[in-house]
Copies of this chain bind each other. A is one copy, B any other.
Amino acid sequence: MTPSSRPDRPRLRRTAGDRRAQLVQIGLELLPTTPVQELTIDEVARRAGISRSLLFHYFATKRDYYTAVTRAAADLLLEHLLPEPGTSTEQQITGMLDRYVGWVETFPQSHLAFVRGAAGGDPWVSDVYEDTRSRLLAVALTALDLPDDALRRQLVLAWFAFTEDLVGQWVLDPTMARAELVELLRAVLDRLLQVPPVARR
């Protein structure tokens, strides 16, 4: 991440798009230590070297700003997880799992806030979360070379819930070696994919 948020940097003319991107970037830089819902507008504005009221010129409400940061974080996660094209299914899935664990290790609080906020009362988090989940589902089904049917979707989504929960607990209290964790996640997926792909309905 670039130090673009230094307040002592000479003020250049920025377009509104640049400024919005800069403010989102500041939010992203704070995420490793601060869940998005706890970012303070004053702190973000201070780091951008602008006033609080100018920030609200770019994002009409605090919630708009949080949504933009959440969406940017989800995009980064997705980009980070995308498998390397041309590698084997095995490498793609193990690579994605390894990078997912790495992401949760880097952003444990944000991960928790994202997962919890998603399921709960915050529509702005849950929209981004559901959207990210269904994009990840499509990526996983493709990497696994699975048919996109209701059964596969249910199994992969339930495996996401399992993975999210176990990795979320594990980063706070690593009860097994990291490689064992990744192997276990993979083994459970393998077991789920043994469900025969017959047409059931």
Do B201 and A175 touch across chains, with their CB atoms under 8 A apart? Answer: yes
Closest to A125 in B: B120
Ordered by A's residue number, 20 sampled pairs between the chains whose C-beta atoms are within 8 Å are A116-B120, A117-B120, A117-B121, A118-B119, A121-B121, A121-B122, A149-B175, A151-B175, A154-B166, A158-B162, A158-B165, A158-B166, A160-B165, A161-B161, A161-B162, A162-B165, A184-B192, A184-B195, A188-B188, A188-B192
B180 touches A195 (CB 8 A): yes
Of B157, B170, B201, the contact of A165 (CB 8 Å cutoff): B157
Q: Is the CB of B161 within 8 A of A165?
A: yes
* Extra 11 A-B pairs, beta carbons < 8 Å, given A120-B120, A157-B165, A176-B195: A117-B120, A119-B119, A120-B122, A154-B169, A155-B166, A158-B162, A160-B165, A162-B162, A162-B165, A162-B188, A175-B201
Chain B residue numbers with a CB within 8 Å of A184 are: 192, 195
Cα(A176)–Cα(B169), bound, Å: 30
Q: Is the pair B200, A175 in contact by a Cβ cutoff of 8 Å?
A: yes
Query: Is A164 an interface residue when CB atoms closer than 8 A count as contact?
Result: yes
Which residue of chain B is the closest to A120 with respect to CB atoms?
B120
> Cβ of A76 < 8 Å from any Cβ of B?
no
**Total chain A interface residues with beta-carbon distance under 8 A:** 37
Q: Which residues of B contact A192 (CB under 8 A)?
A: 184, 188
Please give the distance in Å from A98's CB to the nearest CB on chain B.
18
> A151 vs B166: C-alpha distance in the bound complex, in angstroms?
10
- A12 CB-CB contact with B under 8 Å: no
Instruction: List, in ascending order, chain B residues with CB within 8 A of A155's CB.
Output: 166
